[in-house]
């Protein structure tokens, strides 16, 4: 329930307004240029405030009971004096005039603007329309099947398009690689990318390239042979050193063997002498 509306600018573009069961003392109707339909019912107004309804085109009111104010044509207001009462009667006349204008407009619209009411359909017409609807419903199934087939065909074509795009991209990549390979061989043989080169010139460049490769190969082979010869010389030197070392080792082994033989002979002689010494010592002690 509204008791006051201090600022109604937000409702400036309002077209229809229904004020029911409120205790509004004042409402700015003049600030509503688009308002074309107003309904007042069971509200309490300041009688002076109702004077602002003068500018309204259409006004509707519903019967209401005024418990503590003036009542006229379903509109209640709180009168504060004779002046308020006179204003109310003036407003009452305006309301009645607006109501009559609205009623006349309604009659004019009903008679001239609204389409005439059609006669009700007969039973046969209703049956015919129902039969038509049934036929339409029955004809939907083949259409739906056709739509489904079209969707399947569309999906198949879409898959073909995707496969074709993939194949095209693959061929594009292969073409790009081939172009790079061609550029590489052009650079090797000195073939210009743009323009035409005579066959003789191409053959000359190929022969020149092969001769250059042959010369490089011969130089490389010569260097390898020199390296192998050097390596073989080093290997022979190492083998000679090994052989010399083996001979020295055999000599040392023979010397060691001779030394051991001499050592054994000396040990035998030393043992014999020790035995003689011991024997002589015993003889001396006995005598």
112-121 pLDDT, tens digit per residue, is: 766 555 566 6
- Examine residue 83 and state whether it is found in any structural domain, yes or no: yes
- Examine residue 87 and state whether it is found in any structural domain, yes or no: yes
Segment among 56-60, 134-138, 185-189 with least mean pLDDT? 56-60
Phi, psi of 2 (to 5 degrees): -90, 140
Instruction: Measure the CA–CA gap between 214 and 159, rounded to whole angstroms.
Output: 55
- Examine residue 38 and state whether it is found in any structural domain, yes or no: yes
Considering only CA atoms, give the Rg of the chain: 66
Per the model's pLDDT, the better-predicted residue between 114 and 204 turns out to be: 204
How many domains would you assign to the chain? 1
Segment among 108-112, 150-154, 245-249 with least mean pLDDT? 108-112
- Examine residue 41 and state whether it is found in any structural domain, yes or no: yes
What is the pLDDT at residue 223?
A: 92
What is the pLDDT at residue 73?
A: 46
- Examine residue 42 and state whether it is found in any structural domain, yes or no: yes
Which domain, by its residues, includes 51? 9-112
- Examine residue 236 and state whether it is found in any structural domain, yes or no: no
Give the closest residue to 26 by CA, choosing from 78, 85, 90: 78
Give the whole-number percent of the chain exceeding pLDDT 70: 66
Instruction: Measure the CA–CA gap between 79 and 69, rounded to whole angstroms.
Output: 7
pLDDT of 87 higher than 60: no
Q: pLDDT tier at 61 (50, 70, 90 boundaries)?
A: low
- Examine residue 49 and state whether it is found in any structural domain, yes or no: yes
Instruction: Measure the CA–CA gap between 65 and 43, rounded to whole angstroms.
Output: 9
Per the model's pLDDT, the better-predicted residue between 39 and 230 turns out to be: 230
What is the pLDDT at residue 123?
A: 76
Query: Coil, strand or helix: which one is 122?
Result: coil
Which residue pairs from 36-44 have beta carbons closer than 8 angstroms and sit at least 24 positions apart in sequence? Answer: 40/74, 40/75, 41/74, 42/76, 43/19, 43/75, 43/76, 44/69, 44/76, 44/77, 44/78
* In contact, 90 and 51? CB cutoff 8 Å: yes
* In contact, 58 and 15? CB cutoff 8 Å: no
pTM above 0.75, yes or no: no
- Examine residue 192 and state whether it is found in any structural domain, yes or no: no
Give the closest residue to 209 by CA, choosing from 224, 179, 187: 187
Instruction: Measure the CA–CA gap between 287 and 284, rounded to whole angstroms.
Output: 5
- Name the strands in the sheet holding 45-46, side by side, starting at the edge strand that comes first in the sequence: 45-46, 75-78, 70-72
Per the model's pLDDT, the better-predicted residue between 49 and 216 turns out to be: 216
Q: What is the pLDDT of residues 239-280, one digit of tens each?
A: 888 888 888 888 888 888 888 888 888 888 888 888 888 887
């Amino acid at each position: 329930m509204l008791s006051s509306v201090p600022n109604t600018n937000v409702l400036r573009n309002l077209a229809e307004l229904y004020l029911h069961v409120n205790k509004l003392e004042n409402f700015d109707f003049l600030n509503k240029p688009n308002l074309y339909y107003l309904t007042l019912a069971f509200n309490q107004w300041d009688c002076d405030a109702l004077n602002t309804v003068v500018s309204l085109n259409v006004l509707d009111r519903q019967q209401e009971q005024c418990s503590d104010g003036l009542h006229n044509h379903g509109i209640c207001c709180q009168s504060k004096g004779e002046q308020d009462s006179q204003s109310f009667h003036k407003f009452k006349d305006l309301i009645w005039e607006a109501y009559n204008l609205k009623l006349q407009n309604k009659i004019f619209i009903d008679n001239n603007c609204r389409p005439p009411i059609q006669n009700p359909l007969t039973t046969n017409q209703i049956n015919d329309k129902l039969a038509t609807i049934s036929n339409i419903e029955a004809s939907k199934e083949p259409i739906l099947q056709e739509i489904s087939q079209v969707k399947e065909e569309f999906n198949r074509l879409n898959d073909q398009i995707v496969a074709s795009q993939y194949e095209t991209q693959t061929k594009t990549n292969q073409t790009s690689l081939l172009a790079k390979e061609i550029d590489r061989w052009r650079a090797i043989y000195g073939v210009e990318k743009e323009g035409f080169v005579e066959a003789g010139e191409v053959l000359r460049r190929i022969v020149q390239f092969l001769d250059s490769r042959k010369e490089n190969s011969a130089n490389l082979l010569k260097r390898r042979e020199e390296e192998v010869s050097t390596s073989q010389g080093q290997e022979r030197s190492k083998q000679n050193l090994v052989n010399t070392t083996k001979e020295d080792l055999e000599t040392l082994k023979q010397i060691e063997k001779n030394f051991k033989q001499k050592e054994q002979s000396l040990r035998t002689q030393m043992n014999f002498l020790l035995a003689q010494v011991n024997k002589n010592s015993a003889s001396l002690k006995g005598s």
